Chains A and B, each alone.
Chain A
Amino acid sequence: MSGAAAAEQLIEVDGVEKVFSVRRKAGRLRRVRHEVRAVDGITFQVPRGEMVGYIGPNGAGKSTTIKMLTGILVPSGGRLRVAGIDPARERTRLARRIGVVFGQRTTLWWDLPLKDSYELVRRMYRVPDAVYRANLDRCIELLDLGPLLSVPVRQLSLGQRMRGDIAAALLHDPEVLYLDEPTIGLDVISKAKVRAFLREVNAERGTTVLLTTHDLTDIEQLCRRVMVIDHGHLVYDGGLDGLRAAGDGERTLVVDLERELPPIEGVPGARTVKVEGPRQWLAFPAAQSAAPLVAAVAERYPLVDLSVREPDIEDVIATLYAGGRVPEGRAAADPA
């Protein structure tokens, strides 16, 4: 984001890679070693206060990236800084300044009531009493945790547990919050609650958020910037709008005519992709304005109604994944 040039870069990732050496059975006794480049030289920066979506298909390297950013895994190469700290070397010092939520597994103590887990977090992170009280009260209110505090974590439903986990990750006022699939398996209401809360934390606290997800609605509702990773490479880094344009880049003009007619022809830059009774679908490049198109159709056909559909983000990403190509416009390896 060009305007953020002056802002402090809270997360700096420079040519980071992670290579796993995997041994696989080949024949009865023989094992073959081969390298898996889970993260293959990615570079990006996240300024303080930004909320970034990090998406990619399974096994693309999302979780590996998060694990390197938290200090769980040590990178095989490249340079990495979070709040000026090298996560691999100073894991425990970094731990006080970040919050992490794994959707797939809890970071709370499984057999303990939620409030005991929180108490332990307070003491382990040495959170000052006043800060702790204020943060906890706010989380209890916004995440509806009141009735859950005395319930052991293992008895919580997935949605309740997730809310509990998010609160635990924020009690010590972290500067960065990593969320690895925070809405996975949640029902619609829980998802909405979690999203609203994250939006507020980001807006009020200025907490920097990096979130991975398979649910693109999370991205659409929360993030202005999105990064796409595939096969360990960053294939897109930019705004959500740019991502739409970067896909196959086609918008659709849906027109309702007065009556059934043969497919519309002769409109420059558009082609009819579907006809259903009086309704017809025309695809045209996303970059092109719809206005001349509408004028051209209206001039020659009895037009009753019309609408323009943006390219579906899921389709766009599917094309990105399938093609594995770097879209034009914003080069992924070079965040402005």
Chain B
Amino acid sequence: MASDGPADGVGGGRGAAMAQGLRAYGLIVGMWVRSTLAYRASFVMMAFGNFAATALDFVAIMLMFSQIDALGGFSLPEVAFLYGTSGVSLGLADLLLGSMDRLGRRVRDGTLDTLLLRPAPVFAQVAADRFALRRLGRITQSLLVLGWSLTRLDVDWTVGRMLMVPLMAVCGTAIFGAVFTAGAAFQFWAQDAAEVQNSFTYGGNAMLQYPPTVFAKDLVRGVTFLVPLAFVNWLPALRLLGRPDPLGLPGWADFLGPVVAALMCAGAAVAWRFGLRAYRSTGS
């Protein structure tokens, strides 16, 4: 997503830097996966714990629906659809980039310097560091909920609508990934800011699990225009479920997901470059 600052691309252009980054990411991730699987029982327990912790979320929603028939006008399968799409997106972004919130600590204790000594973009190294395969637990759980909701939803499944679901997951992952990246970039200046980013990622996910109709309009506006998390699942899901948009945006806004995702990734990449450049000119 972001290469290593203008300085690094010089050798072979941006494409080469990207390829170098992906390769390094793959190498480091591969090693962490191997080392995780060396203790298989421990891995299974961790992944199950991750699965169970997120599953409790959904149990709470099911308990709620044992008392009510609709939440903000949404049925249980509809809420499950929101829950599943948001969960899969966050889960994937968390799996791929979730370790980036350690950047602040690396800046503080100086271990970021050791990453700058290796022949690979820093972004790839930071993203792959301590790759946590156990996070598959959250993804699995969200996929199960999503799968169940797809069998229950009252939607006329055309090919276009079917394709929208994986597209939502991809764009949602990119949007959450951009937030993880921008949050990490912010830590170049404010080393203790991991919680700020967590409130947008994990906190945002907790919000997107519920229908937008249960939240105050200003909050919905905030996650549409300020930090456009609404494009992860709310807006496309409203279209898919044939629901009106509480903000009354024009219809084409529902399809802006890929554009928003691309813009956010570009913004996050710029923030990352700025952060790394600032670090390299000032040190810790």
Among the 9-residue stretches B60-68, B111-119, B223-231, the one with 4 or more Cβ atoms under 8 Å from chain A is B111-119
- Cβ of B259 to closest chain A Cβ, rounded Å: 32
User: 8 Å CB contacts to A: which residues of B95-154?
Assistant: 109-111, 113-114, 116-121, 130
Docked Cα-Cα span, A91 to B17, in Å, equals 12
Q: Which residue of A is nearest B110, CB measured? A: A105
Q: Are B7 and A100 in contact (CB under 8 A)?
A: no
CB neighbours of A96 from chain B (8 A): 119
Given A70-B117, A100-B117, A124-B118; 13 other pairs, CB 8 A cutoff: A67-B113, A72-B280, A74-B7, A74-B280, A89-B7, A90-B10, A91-B8, A92-B120, A92-B121, A95-B117, A104-B110, A105-B111, A107-B117
Among the 9-residue stretches B23-31, B171-179, B194-202, B260-268, the one with 4 or more Cβ atoms under 8 Å from chain A is B23-31
- Cβ of A77 to closest chain B Cβ, rounded Å: 12
- Cβ of A17 to closest chain B Cβ, rounded Å: 13
Taking A92-B121, A112-B31 as contacts, is the C-beta distance between A106 and B4 under 8 angstroms? Answer: no
Mark each residue of chain B from 9 to 36: 1 if its CB lies under 8 Å from any CB of chain A, else 0. Answer: 0110000010010001001100100110
Among the 9-residue stretches A3-11, A115-123, A214-222, the one with 4 or more Cβ atoms under 8 Å from chain B is A115-123
Q: Are B35 and A91 in contact (CB under 8 A)?
A: no
List 9 contacting pairs A-B, 8 Å CB cutoff, sorted by A: A20-B283, A70-B116, A70-B117, A89-B7, A91-B7, A96-B119, A106-B114, A120-B31, A124-B119
Q: Are B280 and A88 in contact (CB under 8 A)?
A: yes
Q: B158: CB under 8 A from chain A?
A: no
CB neighbours of B121 from chain A (8 A): 92
Q: Are B116 and A71 in contact (CB under 8 A)?
A: yes
Taking A21-B282, A90-B11, A124-B24 as contacts, is the C-beta distance between A107 and B114 under 8 angstroms? Answer: yes
Q: A241: CB under 8 A from chain B?
A: no
CB neighbours of A316 from chain B (8 A): none
- Cβ of A321 to closest chain B Cβ, rounded Å: 23
Count CB-based A-B contacts (< 8 Å). Answer: 82
Mark each residue of chain A from 107 to 143: 1 if its CB lies under 8 Å from any CB of chain B, else 0. Answer: 1010110001001100111000000000000000000
Q: Are B27 and A123 in contact (CB under 8 A)?
A: yes
Task: List residues of B whose CB falls within 8 A of some A CB.
Answer: 4, 7-8, 10-11, 17, 20, 24, 27-28, 31, 34-35, 109-111, 113-114, 116-121, 130, 277, 280-283
Q: Which residue of A is nearest B281, CB measured? A: A74
Which 5 pairs show the lowest CB-CB distances between chains A and B? A95-B119, A107-B114, A72-B116, A92-B119, A93-B11
Q: Are A111 and B114 in contact (CB under 8 A)?
A: no
CB neighbours of A102 from chain B (8 A): 113-114
Taking A21-B282, A100-B117 as contacts, is the C-beta distance between A92 and B4 under 8 angstroms? Answer: yes
Mark each residue of chain A from 178 to 195: 1 if its CB lies under 8 Å from any CB of chain B, else 0. Answer: 000000000000000000
Which residue of the partner chain, among A64, A72, A116, A123, contacts B117 with CB atoms under 8 Å? Answer: A72
Docked Cα-Cα span, A2 to B283, in Å, equals 36
